[in-house]
């Protein structure tokens, strides 16, 4: 053999040897994963994370996989923005190692040991548990707890060799035989689209898929490789021996596999929740049955539970189809696997036969849930609602599934004590023990069980107003403290008083630098009593300090006489006082507030309204007297547009989508239907109707009158739409002319929107109000113009009220607002009281101090409420005067029954709400907004709704007495410095 031949031979032999060595090495690696184990274990030692103070400069958040969205990990950047806008800052955050950052940046899912259960935890102010949710609810705590028959069945279906101990370093993320077969099937599928493409996923990669891949799906080969790589790295975090991790994979899959969902329970994950949701099986009972000792003797209950559990393992491939649409198909497929399992020896023939004899039957109704009453969970639900709004989470369902621990400000011990007290006073014995029977309270025959009682209490600490108690006795999700618009009566006088003192402060600021002579020359309207008084006071007291001027303002006098009819709210209104003896007296603002004299505050509100009018229309006295002034025309046009638009909206809601017969029925619901009226309506609403149809409708609807053809022809011709003006037709028909116009327009354009019809009706609306523009209607015009001015004034007053926490967008434009007509909320009143207690500084009102997301993960982020820059909303001089007036209410006013109940200074404002619509008494309320000492403040409310409201005559005295009965609890809530108490918060 030549030298060249020997060389070729040696090279060929070397290639064969190398190929053989490579084959041996690769096949050995495929079986044992030895090299992978070494490399990935070394890599895992560099994949670390730890939490350090402040915001992290080395953190990566996951994509939008189902698991990461459900637990909120993917949303933490968005949560951060929202929380920072609300005064929170990152207190501490996870830092991940450089190697971990590189892996994530390369596209892998962050490698760490993930939670099988997570959910919302709420803690009280002392760290005690208030509320806790865990999803999935029913899980196996460890691998040993999983019934062996489930493990064998799962491995047979999904991952035969996963727990094979022969190769302890084996990579559980890859089954090379299945992967090669699946890859070949994918290639052949490109040639023949009809060829099936079964997956090659191991349990480990399935978990990565349904947790982290977008939509829980594998949409591309690259996504499959990402799942495999991520699962491989995760498998070796605990070292080269992967058998414990492989057992963990089985445990994790059994506990978290997605199994569709339904309306009653939401998403279903894991065999435990699946058995309960889909088959109504108790988890503990099911596990006792599945833990079969002697598999040669199988009871029907054992067979039933086993088949149900097996069906869930199979259903995970198409869970919505099998569990929601076609249970029969799932039953047949489960039977097939029962035979295969028995043939493979995974179950005994007895287990197979017993299970085959069972038919799958889903639970017919949702399994009953054991829940606490809404009364017991009122504060918790309030905090959950607050959290949901803070984070922008749309439902409490999604909030409860976040991996979040929130430290609330709720004092759990106090919350329970106050809740118990609220429940007690709803019984006659409890109400009697609290002293709630007596004059101006409950009468002997009154049932306190019909009443709702509520308490909201705040404590000022650490530069914030911290919610300590939020309780009411409504066993419904409804929260009376923060979810209603209630007439809280004379508590509105507190808002009115603050507005009054703010006006006095503004007037002094504008006028204090003027000399007495300059003040006397100011062009002030005699209708603007407040500006006139301020100028006169400062002229007589040059350079007066603000406290002195505020005290003088509190001494201004108003009559308590109820004999005057007030032009307000678009009409004339009369008001009464609670005590008849007040009717013939004059009161200072101070004593009027102390004794809650209605007429004093109605007249004070009138002065406030007139002041506001002269701020935005300083020359109103001149132009309102001039019939030709453009301002009059402007306000009159505004009135016409506003009132006619209101009528149009009402008629649109009444007639939109109605047939002609329904329209006629509604128009004549309260008006007698005569031939003439009906003829006018028909010719106005349906002017294109022919005479024959007109006659048939007339005869069909007019009973007891014989209408001849001549009569009908006469009506048809006489009342044609062009024969009378719109106003005249309304007069003849006794129907509002705009109702006629709108019904006609809707017949022409049934799909027209309200905005379109409003624009089209501009001329018709002006025509309907033509009478008002006539010169002889000067007085009527002026009344309506003044009402428009009043509306604008109340808009300005409303802006001021909202700045101080008023919860609604608008006030009722009526002087009755001073006595509660615009409504309020107990919690909003508490905010105003907190502002007074804090000397005018706007301290944030909060129920959540800390939020800890994703504890123990590389996404961990902790937020704490930060102290913001002080924002002064009221001068301290005003709060000093108001606080003293609130104390006067207790020492000698409408809340004097509370005098002496507390060692600390106490003040408050009472309010009795009596909301009526005509003769209907819709609701009645008794409210007391108060402060105790320098830290505590809140609101107590008693409330009853129709049909029971008419049976009660209690006043705010009952709310005051209720607080007196709660005095021992209130004292324990905020003991003096240096003292401790079981009800007090430590922070």
pLDDT reported for residue 568: 94
pLDDT reported for residue 196: 46
pLDDT reported for residue 95: 97
Query: Helix crossing, 630-655 with 778-803: angle to 10°?
Result: 80
What count of other Cβ atoms lies within 10 Å of the Cβ of residue 308?
Answer: 24
Q: Which residue has the higher pLDDT, 193 or 522?
A: 522
Query: Could you tell me which residues come within 8 angstroms of residue 547 by beta carbon, excluding any fewer than 6 positions away?
Result: 877, 880, 881
Closest CA to 60 of 99, 93, 84, 96: 96
Q: How confident is the model at residue 210 (pLDDT cuts 50, 70, 90)?
A: very high
Q: How confident is the model at residue 706 (pLDDT cuts 50, 70, 90)?
A: confident
Q: Which two tokens stand for residue 687?
A: 């002017």
DSSP state of 486: B
pLDDT reported for residue 370: 52
Average of per-residue pLDDT across 696-706: 87
Query: Helix crossing, 349-356 with 300-315: angle to 10°?
Result: 80
Dihedrals phi, psi of 913, to nearest 5 degrees: -100, 135
pLDDT reported for residue 195: 45
- Position 189 pLDDT exceeds 50: no
- Position 13 pLDDT exceeds 70: no
pLDDT tens, residue by residue, 791-847: 999 999 999 999 999 999 999 999 999 999 999 999 999 999 999 999 999 999 999
What count of other Cβ atoms lies within 10 Å of the Cβ of residue 314?
Answer: 18
Query: Helix crossing, 34-44 with 3-32: angle to 10°?
Result: 60
Q: What percent of the chain has pLDDT over 70?
A: 92
Q: How confident is the model at residue 643 (pLDDT cuts 50, 70, 90)?
A: very high
- Position 184 pLDDT exceeds 60: no
pLDDT reported for residue 947: 87
Please tell me whether residue 494 adopts helix, strand or coil conformation.
helix
Q: Which two tokens stand for residue 68?
A: 């990461």
> Which value, to the nearest 10 degrees, does the dihedral of the CA atoms of residues 601, 602, 608, 613 take?
180
- Position 96 pLDDT exceeds 80: yes
CB 437 within 8 A of CB 443: yes
Q: How confident is the model at residue 7 (pLDDT cuts 50, 70, 90)?
A: low
Structural domain spans, the chain: 378-488+834-973, 640-771
Closest CA to 437 of 912, 428, 421, 473: 428
CB 671 within 8 A of CB 677: yes
pLDDT, averaged across the chain: 90
Give the best-scoring range by mean pLDDT among 461-475, 498-512, 663-677, 947-961: 498-512
CB 915 within 8 A of CB 477: no
CB 894 within 8 A of CB 595: yes
pLDDT reported for residue 916: 74
DSSP state of 356: H
| Cα distances (angstroms) measured from residue 581 to each of 325, 559, 672, 682, 914 | 75, 12, 48, 58, 21
pLDDT reported for residue 634: 94
Distance CA 344, CA 972 (A): 69
Q: Which residue has the higher pLDDT, 59 or 707?
A: 59
pLDDT tens, residue by residue, 407-440: 999 999 999 999 999 999 999 999 999 999 999 9
| Cα Rg of the chain (Å, integer) | 39
Q: How confident is the model at residue 950 (pLDDT cuts 50, 70, 90)?
A: confident
CB 828 within 8 A of CB 858: no
- Position 770 pLDDT exceeds 80: yes
CB 408 within 8 A of CB 130: yes
Distance CA 808, CA 794 (A): 13
The number of residues making up the chain comes to 987
- Position 171 pLDDT exceeds 80: yes
pLDDT tens, residue by residue, 934-947: 999 999 999 898 88
Average of per-residue pLDDT across 632-649: 94
H-helix or E-strand containing 471? strand 464-472
Please tell me whether residue 94 adopts helix, strand or coil conformation.
strand
CB 252 within 8 A of CB 211: no
pLDDT reported for residue 8: 63
Please tell me whether residue 363 adopts helix, strand or coil conformation.
coil
CB 459 within 8 A of CB 985: yes
pLDDT reported for residue 913: 87
Closest CA to 320 of 364, 279, 368, 278: 278
Strand partners, 611: none
Closest CA to 76 of 865, 850, 866, 854: 854
CB 752 within 8 A of CB 767: no
* Full DSSP string of 569-597: TTEEE----SSGGGGG-EEEHHHHHHTT-
Taking phi over 0 as left and psi of -120 to 50 as alpha, with beta for the rest, 734 belongs to left
pLDDT tens, residue by residue, 675-696: 999 999 999 999 999 999 999 9
Query: Could you tell me which residues come within 8 angstroms of residue 370 by beta carbon, excluding any fewer than 6 positions away?
Result: none
Distance CA 358, CA 708 (A): 79
* Full DSSP string of 826-882: HHHHHHHHHHHHTTTB-PPEESEEEEEESTTSTT-EEEEEPPPPP-B-S-HHHHHHH
- Position 367 pLDDT exceeds 80: no
- Cα 787 to its chain centre, rounded Å, is 36
Q: Which two tokens stand for residue 227?
A: 């799942």
Q: How confident is the model at residue 526 (pLDDT cuts 50, 70, 90)?
A: very high
Please tell me whether residue 975 adopts helix, strand or coil conformation.
coil
Q: Which residue has the higher pLDDT, 944 or 374?
A: 944
DSSP state of 442: B
pLDDT reported for residue 484: 78
pLDDT tens, residue by residue, 566-622: 999 989 999 999 999 999 999 999 999 999 999 999 999 999 999 999 999 999 999
pLDDT reported for residue 915: 80
Poorest-pLDDT segment among 192-201, 359-368, 386-395, 739-748: 192-201
- Position 153 pLDDT exceeds 80: yes
- Position 23 pLDDT exceeds 90: no
| Cα distances (angstroms) measured from residue 538 to each of 510, 512, 554, 590, 879 | 11, 7, 15, 20, 22
Taking phi over 0 as left and psi of -120 to 50 as alpha, with beta for the rest, 146 belongs to beta
What count of other Cβ atoms lies within 10 Å of the Cβ of residue 504?
Answer: 23
Q: How confident is the model at residue 29 (pLDDT cuts 50, 70, 90)?
A: low
Q: How confident is the model at residue 197 (pLDDT cuts 50, 70, 90)?
A: very low
Distance CA 617, CA 364 (A): 69
CATH superfamily of 378-488+834-973: DD-peptidase/beta-lactamase superfamily (3.40.710.10)
| Cα distances (angstroms) measured from residue 617 to each of 283, 365, 525, 622, 636 | 74, 66, 11, 10, 15
Closest CA to 244 of 173, 174, 163: 163
- Position 200 pLDDT exceeds 70: no
């Amino acid at each position: 053999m030549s030298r060249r031949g020997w060389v070729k031979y040696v090279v060929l032999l070397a290639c064969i040897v190398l190929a053989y060595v490579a084959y041996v090495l690769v096949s050995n690696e495929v079986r044992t994963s030895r090299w992978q184990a070494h490399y990935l274990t070394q890599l895992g030692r560099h994949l670390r994370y730890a939490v350090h103070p402040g915001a992290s400069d080395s953190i990566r958040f996951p994509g939008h996989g189902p698991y990461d969205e459900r637990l909120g990990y993917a949303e933490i950047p968005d949560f951060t923005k929202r929380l920072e806008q609300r005064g929170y800052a990152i207190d501490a955050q996870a830092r991940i190692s450089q190697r971990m950052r590189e892996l994530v940046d390369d596209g892998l899912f962050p490698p760490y040991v993930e939670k099988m259960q997570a959910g919302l935890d709420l803690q009280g102010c002392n760290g005690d548990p208030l509320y806790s949710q865990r999803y999935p609810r029913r899980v196996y705590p460890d691998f040993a707890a999983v019934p062996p028959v489930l493990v064998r069945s799962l491995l047979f279906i999904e991952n035969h060799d996963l727990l094979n101990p022969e190769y302890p370093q084996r990579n559980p993320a890859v089954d090379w035989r299945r992967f090669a077969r699946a890859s070949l099937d994918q290639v052949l599928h490109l040639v023949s689209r009809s060829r099936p493409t079964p997956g090659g996923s191991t349990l480990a990669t399935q978990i990565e898929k349904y947790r982290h891949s977008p939509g829980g799906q594998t949409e591309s080969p690259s996504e499959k490789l990402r799942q495999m790589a991520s699962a491989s790295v995760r498998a070796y975090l605990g070292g080269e021996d992967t058998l414990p991790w492989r057992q963990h994979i089985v445990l994790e899959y059994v506990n978290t596999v997605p199994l569709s969902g339904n309306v009653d329970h939401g998403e279903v994950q894991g065999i435990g929740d699946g058995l309960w949701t889909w088959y109504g099986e108790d988890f503990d009972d099911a596990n006792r049955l599945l833990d079969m000792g002697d598999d040669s003797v199988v009871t029907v209950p054992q067979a039933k539970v086993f088949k149900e559990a097996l069906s869930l393992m199979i259903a995970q491939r198409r869970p919505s189809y099998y569990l929601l649409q076609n249970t029969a198909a799932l039953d047949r497929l489960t039977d097939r696997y029962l035979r295969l399992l028995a043939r493979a020896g995974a179950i005994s023939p007895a287990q197979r036969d017993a299970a085959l004899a069972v038919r799958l039957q889903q639970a017919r109704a949702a399994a009953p849930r054991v829940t606490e009453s809404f009364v017991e969970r009122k504060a918790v639900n309030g905090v959950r609602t607050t959290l949901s709004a803070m984070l922008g989470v749309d439902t409490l369902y999604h909030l409860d599934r976040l991996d979040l621990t929130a430290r609330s400000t709720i004092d759990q011990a106090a919350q329970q004590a106050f809740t118990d007290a609220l429940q007690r006073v709803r019984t006659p014995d409890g109400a009697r023990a609290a002293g709630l029977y007596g004059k101006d309270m409950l009468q002997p025959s009154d049932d306190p069980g019909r009443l709702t009682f509520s308490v909201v209490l705040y404590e000022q600490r650490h530069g914030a107003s911290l919610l300590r108690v939020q309780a009411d006795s409504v066993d419904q999700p409804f929260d009376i403290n923060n979810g209603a618009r209630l007439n809280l009566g004379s508590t509105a006088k507190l808002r009115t008083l603050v507005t009054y003192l703010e006006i006095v402060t503004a007037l002094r600021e504008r006028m204090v630098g003027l000399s007495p002579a300059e003040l006397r020359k100011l062009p002030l309207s005699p209708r603007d009593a407040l500006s006139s008084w301020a100028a006169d006071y400062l002229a007589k007291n040059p350079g007066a300090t603000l406290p002195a001027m505020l005290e003088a303002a509190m001494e201004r006098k108003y009559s308590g006489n109820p004999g005057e009819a007030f032009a307000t709210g678009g009409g004339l209104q009369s008001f009464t006082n609670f005590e008849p003896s007040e009717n013939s007296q004059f009161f200072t603002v101070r004593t009027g507030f102390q004794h809650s004299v209605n007429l004093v505050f109605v007249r004070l509100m009138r002065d406030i309204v007139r002041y506001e009018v002269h701020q935005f229309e300083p020359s109103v006295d001149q132009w309102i007297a001039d019939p030709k002034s453009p301002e009059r025309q402007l306000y009159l046009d505004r009135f016409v547009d506003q009132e006619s638009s209101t009528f149009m909206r009402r008629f649109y809601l009444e007639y939109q989508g109605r047939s002609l017969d329904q329209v006629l029925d509604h128009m004549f619901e309260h008006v007698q239907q005569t031939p003439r009226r009906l003829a006018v309506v028909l010719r106005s609403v349906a002017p294109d109707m022919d005479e024959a149809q007109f006659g048939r409708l007339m005869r069909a609807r007019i009973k007891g009158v014989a209408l001849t053809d001549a009569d009908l022809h006469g009506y048809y011709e006489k009342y044609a739409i062009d024969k009378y003006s719109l106003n005249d037709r309304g007069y003849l028909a006794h129907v509002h002319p705009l109702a006629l116009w709108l019904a006609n327009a809707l017949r022409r354009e049934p799909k027209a929107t309200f905005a379109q019809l409003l624009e089209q009706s501009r001329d018709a609306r002006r025509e309907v109000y033509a009478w008002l523009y006539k010169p002889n209607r000067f007085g009527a015009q002026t009344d309506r113009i003044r009402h428009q001015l009043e509306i604008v004034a109340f808009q300005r007053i409303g802006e001021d009220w909202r700045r101080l926490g008023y919860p609604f967008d608008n006030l009722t434009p009526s002087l009755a607002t001073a006595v509660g007509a615009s409504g309020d909320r107990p919690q909003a009143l508490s905010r105003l009281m907190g502002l007074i207690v804090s000397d005018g500084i706007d301290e944030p009102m909060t129920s959540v101090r800390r939020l800890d997301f994703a504890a123990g993960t590389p996404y961990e982020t902790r937020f704490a409420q930060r102290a913001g820059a002080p924002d002064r909303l009221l001068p301290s001089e005003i709060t000093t005067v108001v606080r003293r007036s609130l104390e006067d209410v207790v020492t000698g006013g409408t809340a004097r029954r509370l005098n002496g109940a507390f060692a600390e200074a106490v003040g408050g404002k009472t309010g009795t709400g009596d909301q009526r619509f005509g003769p209907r008494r819709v609701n009645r309320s008794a409210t007391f907004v108060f402060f105790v000492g320098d830290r505590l403040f809140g609101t107590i409310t008693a409330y009853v709704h129709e049909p029971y409201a008419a049976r009660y005559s209690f006043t705010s005295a009952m709310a005051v007495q209720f607080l007196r009965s709660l005095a021992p609890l209130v004292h324990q809530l905020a003991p003096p410095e240096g003292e401790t108490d079981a009800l007090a918060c430590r922070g």
